[in-house]
Chains A and B, each alone.
Chain A
């Protein structure tokens, strides 16, 4: 065998073996045991047909709570995040001298290790000692305004999800800004100059020049945002531990808890498969919508 043969056939062999061992077989295994009552330490492992799926979809309140929370997080994070990022990227592309400095501030959280950031967030939003409640109370108190109430950001069922969504907005905004800003800066400048000479206002330029020309980047931000948000785990795990009363548990958190705390691998696998199916369905619909909007 010549070294040329080794060099060429090495690539498909390495790629094929790697993805077979670490992707294809594991996915097959997950699907297979989702039809089993399976635990690595259990003695009564047995096939149960669709029982795991039936339990998740018709019986398990926590599964539905996790699905609702994950959908809520995805909706808040993608809709608000994309709109905010679009407005900010547009502003960053237009203001002059200190833009780099502002960009640094917006992009910084992207490079802030997510668990470390969530720990900081947990401390800041801590209801009794956190700087958010304390600082706002201090300001209202000093100014003689009605005192700011002690909001239970991380400790009440109505605030736990908004707190986590705020965290997601803060953490992932920079990523979206980077991509949208790069797209906006790639729009030819003379389009704007010509439009200005014709008396087109900045607002009109934004809607009729910028938006249509950065559509591919916008689609990317939305699709990637939805795919990633459905897999949210770290913010809930660190900031609220999924609580209180499961009010902020996510699907991935439930998958992990079911498998590694309750040892129910089969049931955990069924929930993973449902998550995978949801993500695939959303991706398919979004790609179809994107194709239709480009065909126009």
Chain B
């Protein structure tokens, strides 16, 4: 191997791995630190591995700082929103692709145009509406405004562009109803955009901070990010059992674990939403 080829191969690879180490560090550091006593986080010289591994701080946060309840809220809201968004987007996109009715195109353009609206701009009016409806601190306040997403409809509509018509025609001739055609023939073939949309919707809901902070601030209605942001304020200074890394670990673990288990599927799903 010539000197030049060597440089071209080894230098980028080394940099790539150093970069990977830097990218990975916060995650590794969080996992290790979650098992340390809060006092150990303050010592100099810093320790890399915990002096004694202890689950106490995770258990303390789970039980005493409401994280068990917040985990349930986050899981319930994120799952419901994902389910509703995927199903309604697939259904609406299919009907707009397959059938003709009055105002079809203007309505479709309107739906696609809504993707231009930045969600933070909607927080204020949504708060006012939810307040008028008496929905503050309810699950419907967290779920309903996000039950449908213009981008989801757009993604599905794009996917259905080359959908095989003969399958649908054959089913129609056999007297299968339109709903059943959608449910049993079309929907199973839409698996890949459904998975892609499901992944990014779930991720977005699981991470969402601003709206839950505004719409549901009661402890029993809080979701993980809002609760975590409220708690983390002066954690380092307080001398009790609160270890902020343990709190972050609880909030981050479900998705990180899912990522390690389904990396290929998740990466493919995210890549698909970027292919327009």
Contact for B177 among A3, A24, A95, CB less than 8 A: A3
Q: Chain A residues near B17: list those with CB within 8 A.
A: 102
List, in ascending order, chain B residues with CB within 8 A of A12's CB. Answer: 92, 95-96, 101, 103-104, 107
Give the chain B neighbours of A101 by CB distance below 8 A.
Answer: 20
How many whole Å from B210's CB to the nearest CB in chain A? 6
Interface string of A271-296 (1 = CB under 8 A from B): 01101100110010000000000000
**B148 contacts A15, CB within 8 Å?**
yes
A182 touches B122 (CB 8 A): no
A93 to B69 Cα, complex, angstroms: 43
Within 8 A of B (CB), among A68-93: 88, 91-92
Q: Given A7-B95, A120-B30, A272-B121, A23–B247 Cβ distance below 8 Å? A: no
Q: Which residues of A contact B153 (CB under 8 A)?
A: 15
Q: How far apart sit A125 and B111, CA to CA, in the bound complex (Å)?
A: 42
Interface string of B233-270 (1 = CB under 8 A from A): 00110000000110111011001101110010011001
A contact face: mostly helix, strand, loop, or mixed? helix
Q: Name the B residues within 8 Å of A40 (CB-CB).
A: 128, 131
| B147 interface residue per 8 A CB criterion | yes
- A30: nearest residue on chain B (CB-CB)? B125
Contact of A123 among B103, B117, B244 (CB under 8 A): B244
Question: Which residue of the partner chain A has the closest CB to B88?
Answer: A14
Q: How many residues of A contact B (CB 8 A)?
A: 92
Chain B interface mostly: helix
Q: Which of B27, B29, B103, B118 is A112 in contact with, Cβ under 8 Å?
A: B27
A178–B117 CA distance with the chains assembled, in angstroms: 25
Please, which residue of chain A has its CB at the minimum distance from the CB of B274? A179
Q: Is the CB of A29 within 8 A of B210?
A: no
Return the chain B residue nearest A115 by Cβ: B225
For A123, what are the chain B residues with a Cβ–Cβ distance below 8 Å? 33, 41, 235-236, 244-245
For the complex, is A161 an interface residue (Cβ under 8 Å from B)? no
B92 touches A170 (CB 8 A): no
Does B83 belong to the interface (CB within 8 Å)?
no
Closest residue to B120 on the A side, CB-wise? A252
User: Does the CB pair A105–B13 fall under 8 Å?
Assistant: no
Known contacts: A14-B92, A27-B121, A231-B118. The answer to whether A238 contacts B232 by CB under 8 A is yes
CA distance in complex: A33, B101 (Å):
36
Contact call A30/B225, Cβ cutoff below 8 A: no
Q: Decide if B251 touches A116 in the complex (CB within 8 Å).
A: yes
A-B contact pairs, 14 of them (CB 8 A): A22-B122, A23-B122, A24-B110, A30-B122, A115-B207, A116-B251, A124-B26, A175-B270, A220-B274, A233-B210, A234-B210, A268-B124, A279-B118, A283-B116
| With A102-B20, A256-B123 already in contact, 12 other A-B pairs whose C-beta atoms are closer than 8 Å | A7-B179, A7-B182, A11-B96, A12-B95, A26-B129, A30-B124, A91-B16, A95-B13, A119-B229, A120-B27, A179-B274, A237-B229
